[in-house]
Each structure stands twice: as C-alpha cells, then as structure tokens.
Amino acid sequence: MEVGVIHKIRGFIMPLLVTLSLLLAVGGLQWPWLWWVLGLLVGPVTILGCWDLIQTEHSILRNYPVLAHLRFILEDLGPELHQYVVESNKGGRPFNRDQRSLMYQRAKGVEDKKPFGTELDTYAPGYIWLTHSLVPKPIPEDPVAALRFELGGPDCIQPVSASVYNISAMSFGALSANAVRALNAGAKRGDFFHVTGEGGISSHHREGGGDLVWQVGTGYFGCRTEDGQFDADMFQEQAVASAQPI
C-alpha cells in the first residue's frame, strides 16, 4: 500500500520546528527581529506540537503533531465548503440551493424568477422528455375516442370519460380573454377538459363550450366557509354565476 505524503513527513515536523526555534533564538542575538518571528509564529507552533505529543485524549494528535489540526479545521469548515463550493444548485437535500433561495426571496418580497433555460442536466440518466420519433406510432382511426380513460371507480355515481391530454391550470388573470376563449374552444373541438386555474371561472371560460374543471383547492374564488369547510351553496352560486376573477 502506498504511504501518503502526510504520513511520510510527520516524523520531520517536530525536529524541524525545534531546530528552527533554536536557530531563531540564536540568530536573535545578532538580529533581534528574529525573536519576534520566534515569539509570534514559530514558537507557538512548536509549543502546540509538544503539547500534541504529550496529551492523551487524541491519538491522531500524538501520531500527527501539528498536522492533525488541519484535519479538525477542515472538519469544521466542511459543511460550508460543501454548501458553497462543492454542492450544485440542484444537489442539496432535503432542499437544494434553488429551493432555499426561492423561499428566502419570497420571504423578503423580492423577485424570485430565474429566466432563460434550465439548470437541469437534460442528458442525465432518468431525465424524461418528449422527442420526435423516426418511426412514429400509427395514429388511431378515432384519436378522440381512443385516447381516453374513465374517472371514477365502480362506486362512482357519475363517472367521467376524460382524455389523456387536457389543458392544465392557467387562470384568466395570467392570460387574457382571447387566450381563454381559444383554449376552451380547442377543448371543445378535441373533447378534453380545460382547468380554470386559481383565478376561478370567468365568462370567457364558458364561451367555447368545452368541459371545465374548476380549481377550488387553492383558488382565489373558492367555495369554502370561514372555518375551511366545503360550502355547497357557494359552489353552486359561483358555478352558475361564472364569477369574474380580479
């Protein structure tokens, strides 16, 4: 087994320090400033090494006088070095740096968006994406009927037939009237549903005639009582009245 450099030089540290201390002490008779070097630098390190040799609490200090303190220093600085030097923006656990920065920025009320591209390694194993195929799968004769599944188990009174492709939540407040109309018209033509998003149901959602999924869990215009319970009357009122989001 190859012996490490630290192991090779450990036997020379104390003789070197003692010899250097003696030379500085003698040289100080001719050049007094050398005593400052001895007292402020070499002397304390030599005393530290002597203490390492005689103490009985840490065997690593006895085997590696002075040098072993470097290990303790690195152990203390290890978490900071790992967090700010080694760790990537996506590699931390349980929350990575990007997630922590997002929480800090939102807590301070500052801009939390990071535009232009992704920090994910799109070529890493396990990364999932959609790509074009040189030999695509044949399109079903009736895609609208073939690409569907049923929502609701055997005990469901009113199961719903849904498409595997639908329009995800995008509220009216984040888009525009024309965009919402176009999306809902597309949902009608493709026979799939259109999720309203947190802004609730607007009159523009109903113009196209497509199926709607009203997002009430986190919606600004929800259907909850003051104590958080489901309010059937509010649900019916807002569903019928097509509440306008702000």
**Tens digits of residue pLDDT in 180-237:** 999 999 999 988 899 988 777 788 888 888 888 888 766 556 677 778 788 888 777 7
Residue-range definition of the domain harbouring residue 228: 143-241
**Tens digits of residue pLDDT in 22-33:** 888 888 888 888
94 domain residue, yes or no:
no
Phi, psi angles (nearest 5°) of residue 203? -65, -30
What pLDDT is stored for residue 194 in this prediction? 92
Residue that the structure tokens 């109903």 belong to: 206
> Is the pLDDT assigned to residue 170 strictly greater than 60?
yes
Domain final position from 29, 49, 76:
76
Confidence category of residue 2, pLDDT binned at 50, 70, 90:
very low
228 domain residue, yes or no:
yes
188 domain residue, yes or no:
yes
**Tens digits of residue pLDDT in 57-83:** 888 888 888 888 888 888 888 878 877
11 domain residue, yes or no:
yes
10 Å Cβ neighbour count for 22?
12
Domain final position from 76, 103, 120:
76
Enumerate the H helices of 28-176 as residue ranges. Answer: 33-37, 43-54, 59-63, 68-81, 97-108, 143-146
Distance separating alpha carbons of residues 201 and 244, to the nearest angstrom? 7
Residues 147 and 231 in one domain: yes
Quote the mean pLDDT of the chain: 81
52 domain residue, yes or no:
yes
Domain final position from 76, 91, 119:
76
**Tens digits of residue pLDDT in 124-164:** 888 888 878 888 778 888 877 788 888 888 888 888 888 98
119 domain residue, yes or no:
no
Give the count of domains, the chain.
Answer: 2
232 domain residue, yes or no:
yes
Coil/strand/helix, residue 168:
coil
Confidence category of residue 1, pLDDT binned at 50, 70, 90:
very low
206 domain residue, yes or no:
yes
